[in-house]
Structure formats: C-alpha cells, structure tokens
A = this chain, B = another copy of it.
Amino acid sequence: MAPGSSLISDRARAKLEAAQVARLGTLDATQGPHLVPICFVFDGSLFYTAIDRKPKRVQVDHLARLKHIHSSPQVALLVDEYNDDWNQLWYVLARGKAELISDSVERGHALELLRKKYHQYRSGMLADDAPVVRITPQRINTWGDI
C-alpha cells in the first residue's frame, strides 16, 4: 500500500497512539541488525521520533541510530506490550524508510505531536532544534489480540 493510505485498523492505530515506547531496528556499520527503544508518535500514516535529551554516550551527530539511518534507510519499528495472559499479546511491526527531516515546517509539526504525547517533552526534554526522524511505513503487519 502507498504511504498515506490506511495501512492499519482503527484498533491497531489506537494501540500505536497509546504506546509510550517502540523498538527501532536498523542496520549497523557491518549490516547487522541493531535495536534501540525509542519514544515516538504515529500521526495515522507516518511515525516520528526525535533525538531527545535523555543521556547519550556520544554527541548527537555520532548517535548510532542517525548514522545507521543515513547509510541504510530501511528500518523496522515494533510496538508490542507484554502480558502474562498470552491470549492478550499483540504486536504491530512497521517496515519502511527512515529519513532525518530537513524541512522546518514538518520538523515543527513532529515536535508538536511529540510534546503533546509525552509530558517529559513538554518539560524541557526536547530541544527546539532536536533532530527528528520520519519513518514512512511501506508494510505494516499485526499479530495477536489486535
């Protein structure tokens, strides 16, 4: 399906909107898989995630996820929730292309959505000049109770 079309059900969309954390899979410098938990928003067709002010080991421009995305834009984003009742397990897996946003209007829109979702971002954990990554899903798979 083309980006922008309705890739998922209303229920899956509600789960994505409520989820506070996703796991982002990228390819590292050796083309092996690399994972990191991220905060994110889903606006119904696109995912956005920012390089925020949580402590990082290295400077922003050296952050692994940005390097990986630059050299290998193909990414996977997994949203799921563990439950001791395995009948309630579910996940949403989105695969697509990630890109660092250069357009200031789109970046501002994404920062606004992120601050609306996370109180930590409204309280100073997200700089106005934070790098923001857009993930355009090409394929979304769902599994389980969703």
Contacts and interface: CB of A to CB of B under 8 A. Distances in A.
> How many protomers of this protein does the assembly include?
2
A117 to B, nearest CB: 12
B120 A57 contact: no
A131 to B, nearest CB: 18
A20 B124 CA distance: 32
Interface in A76-114: 76-78, 80, 82, 84, 86, 89, 91, 93, 95
A137 to B, nearest CB: 12
Interface of A: 20-21, 23, 25-28, 30-37, 54-55, 57, 74-78, 80, 82, 84, 86, 89, 91, 93, 95, 120, 125, 143-144
